[in-house]
Amino acid sequence: MDNHDTNTQLKNEVETFQKYAIVELLKSFFIEIASLTKFTLQFFKALFIPPYELNETFKQCYIIGCKSLALVGITGFIMGLVLTIQSRPTLAAFGAESWLPAMVSVSLIREIGPVITALICGGRIGSSIGAELASMKVTEQIDAMEVSGANPFKYIVVTRILAATLMIPILVIFSDAIALFGSYLAINMKDDISFTLFFGKAFEKLDFLDVIPSLIKTFFFGFAIGLIGCYKGYYSEKGTQGVGTSANEAVVFSSLLVFIMDMIAVQVTSLFS
């Protein structure tokens, strides 16, 4: 009887703990959402209020864009090469090798190119911004800027989010172009097709709903990557451990947000197709 009462008491305690853990998890989730929303509204408020930090914005565009171009280009080239090599046998089984350039171009430009490039940039740019701002928080550089009368949010956060929003679409365009060139080289490994004929077939099946929506969503990808990176770094916990945590969370949450935005974009695009 005593054992039965003890087991019942333990079971009730476990259930109570589980309920408490779920409540705390939901509470922290909604607090995080509210804090991120406030951070986003603060960004839009600071964006349109002078002074404008144009020099710092251009500097961040160079850091985010030019210094990521090599990684994005290599990734795009491999994407086009692998996608073409893997798709060729399937199309050859149906005698549809001539459709290969069009299939690759639609797949890359409409979906694979923007998403993979955004994920690569989320890993590189998101972690870099998160770690940089967290380091500034740990070393009290942000507090020093506030004491000196400067606006650290406008100088640090607004410039990086704006640079990421502007540069990610450009990186995606470069990635798509290099990926198509990689596809061209992959096809010429077994066939002989001219450069002009390949790109003529590649762009023959592309239309407005393939190019424009895929380009528009890359602006949202860039905004999400910059926003999450700045948010995690700006509100990092003090200590060296917080720097690594901020960088890791920036990558994870920005990548997750890219997938969510892409899912929404696909649903919206399908309404007009």
C-alpha span between 111 and 266 (Å, rounded): 9
pLDDT value of position 79: 92
Q: Supply the DSSP string of the chain, one letter for each residue.
A: -HHHHHHHHHHHHHHHHHHHHHHHHHHHHHHHHHHHHHHHHHHHHHHTSSPP-HHHHHHHHIIIIIHHHHHHHHHHHHHHHHHHHHHHHHHHHTT-GGGHHHHHHHHIIIIIHHHHHHHHHIIIIIHHHHHHHHHHHHTTHHHHHHHTT--HIIIIIIHHHHHHHHHHHHHHHHHHHHHHHHHHHHHTTTS---HHHHHHHHHHT--HHHHHHHHHHHHHHHHHHHHHHHHHHHTPPSSHHHHHHHHHHHHHHHHHHHHHHHHHHHHHHHHH-
Rounded distance, CA 138 to CA 143, Å?
A: 10
Identity at 196, one-letter amino acid code: T
pTM: 0.86
pLDDT digits (tens, 9 = 90+) for 18-35: 666 677 777 777 888 888
In sequence order, the 6+-apart residues with CB closer than 8 A to the CB of 228 are 126, 130, 250, 253, 254, 257
Question: For the chain, which residues score pLDDT lower than 70?
Answer: 1-21, 238-239, 273
User: What is residue 226's predicted lDDT score, i.e. its pLDDT?
Assistant: 93
Distance, CA of 75 to CA of 77 (rounded, Å): 6
Residue 168, pLDDT score: 94
- 213-223 burial by CB neighbour count: b if 16+ within 10 A, else e? bbeebbebbbb
The pLDDT of residue 1 = 47
